[in-house]
Amino acid sequence: MELIQNAQVGTFESSDIMILIEPKPKGEGREIELVSNVIMEYGDSIKEVIHEVLDQFEVSDVKIIATDKGALNPTIRARVETAVKRALKIQEGTL
Protein backbone atom coordinates (compact mmCIF):
# COMPACT_ATOMS: atom_id res chain seq x y z
CA MET A 1 0.00 0.00 0.00
CA GLU A 2 1.09 3.53 -0.61
CA LEU A 3 1.17 5.96 2.30
CA ILE A 4 -0.78 9.19 1.86
CA GLN A 5 0.56 11.42 4.63
CA ASN A 6 3.01 11.70 7.52
CA ALA A 7 1.89 10.38 10.89
CA GLN A 8 3.12 10.35 14.48
CA VAL A 9 2.16 8.14 17.38
CA GLY A 10 3.47 7.35 20.85
CA THR A 11 5.23 9.29 23.59
CA PHE A 12 8.68 9.76 25.06
CA GLU A 13 7.51 8.21 28.35
CA SER A 14 9.22 5.20 29.86
CA SER A 15 8.12 1.85 28.34
CA ASP A 16 6.80 3.53 25.18
CA ILE A 17 8.06 4.26 21.67
CA MET A 18 7.54 7.34 19.49
CA ILE A 19 6.99 6.49 15.83
CA LEU A 20 7.26 9.09 13.08
CA ILE A 21 6.32 7.76 9.65
CA GLU A 22 6.50 9.43 6.27
CA PRO A 23 6.00 8.23 2.71
CA LYS A 24 8.94 7.97 0.34
CA PRO A 25 8.78 8.07 -3.45
CA LYS A 26 7.87 4.78 -5.10
CA GLY A 27 10.82 2.45 -5.45
CA GLU A 28 13.01 4.02 -2.72
CA GLY A 29 12.34 1.25 -0.20
CA ARG A 30 12.30 1.31 3.59
CA GLU A 31 14.45 3.43 5.87
CA ILE A 32 14.28 2.87 9.61
CA GLU A 33 16.12 5.14 12.05
CA LEU A 34 16.13 3.77 15.57
CA VAL A 35 17.14 5.66 18.70
CA SER A 36 17.12 3.56 21.86
CA ASN A 37 18.99 3.16 25.11
CA VAL A 38 18.89 -0.60 24.52
CA ILE A 39 19.82 -0.61 20.83
CA MET A 40 22.79 -2.95 21.35
CA GLU A 41 20.63 -5.55 23.10
CA TYR A 42 17.27 -5.17 21.33
CA GLY A 43 17.82 -3.03 18.23
CA ASP A 44 17.49 -5.93 15.78
CA SER A 45 14.36 -7.21 17.54
CA ILE A 46 12.71 -3.78 17.47
CA LYS A 47 13.46 -3.36 13.76
CA GLU A 48 12.15 -6.87 13.08
CA VAL A 49 8.80 -6.01 14.70
CA ILE A 50 8.61 -2.80 12.65
CA HIS A 51 9.30 -4.72 9.43
CA GLU A 52 6.66 -7.34 10.32
CA VAL A 53 3.97 -4.66 10.66
CA LEU A 54 5.06 -2.96 7.42
CA ASP A 55 4.92 -6.36 5.68
CA GLN A 56 1.44 -6.94 7.09
CA PHE A 57 0.23 -3.73 5.43
CA GLU A 58 2.40 -4.26 2.32
CA VAL A 59 4.14 -0.91 2.82
CA SER A 60 7.46 -0.79 0.98
CA ASP A 61 8.40 2.88 0.46
CA VAL A 62 8.56 4.49 3.88
CA LYS A 63 10.81 6.30 6.32
CA ILE A 64 10.33 5.57 10.02
CA ILE A 65 12.03 7.32 12.89
CA ALA A 66 11.54 5.30 16.07
CA THR A 67 12.57 6.66 19.46
CA ASP A 68 12.34 3.82 21.94
CA LYS A 69 12.13 4.21 25.72
CA GLY A 70 12.03 0.52 26.62
CA ALA A 71 8.79 -0.49 24.90
CA LEU A 72 7.85 -4.17 24.78
CA ASN A 73 7.08 -5.87 21.46
CA PRO A 74 3.26 -5.60 21.77
CA THR A 75 3.59 -1.85 22.35
CA ILE A 76 5.96 -1.45 19.40
CA ARG A 77 3.62 -3.44 17.17
CA ALA A 78 0.57 -1.39 18.25
CA ARG A 79 2.36 1.94 17.76
CA VAL A 80 3.64 1.05 14.28
CA GLU A 81 0.25 -0.32 13.25
CA THR A 82 -1.49 2.87 14.39
CA ALA A 83 1.08 5.04 12.60
CA VAL A 84 0.63 3.09 9.36
CA LYS A 85 -3.16 3.30 9.59
CA ARG A 86 -2.97 7.05 10.14
CA ALA A 87 -0.55 7.46 7.23
CA LEU A 88 -2.96 5.47 5.05
CA LYS A 89 -5.86 7.61 6.37
CA ILE A 90 -7.58 4.46 7.65
CA GLN A 91 -7.61 5.75 11.22
CA GLU A 92 -7.44 9.14 12.89
CA GLY A 93 -6.94 10.01 16.52
CA THR A 94 -4.53 11.04 19.22
CA LEU A 95 -3.21 7.72 20.56
Residue 1, pLDDT score: 86
What is the residue-level pLDDT of the chain in tens, covering all 95 positions? 899 999 999 999 999 999 999 999 999 999 999 999 999 999 999 999 999 999 999 999 999 999 999 999 999 999 999 999 999 988 665 55
3-state SS, one letter per residue, for the chain: CCCCCCEEECCCCCCCEEEEEEECCCCCCEEEEEEECCHHHHHHHHHHHHHHHHHHCCCCCEEEEEEECCCCHHHHHHHHHHHHHHHCCCCCCCC
**Within 10 A of 17 (CB to CB), how many other CB atoms are there?**
28
What was the pLDDT predicted at 90?
83
Please answer whether residues 3 and 59 qualify as being in contact, where contact means their C-beta atoms are separated by less than 8 angstroms: yes
Tell me which residue range forms the domain holding 15: 7-88
The count of domains in the chain is 1
Assigned domain for 1 exists: no
CATH of the domain at 49: 3.30.230.10
Residue 2 lies in a domain: no
**pTM value?**
0.92
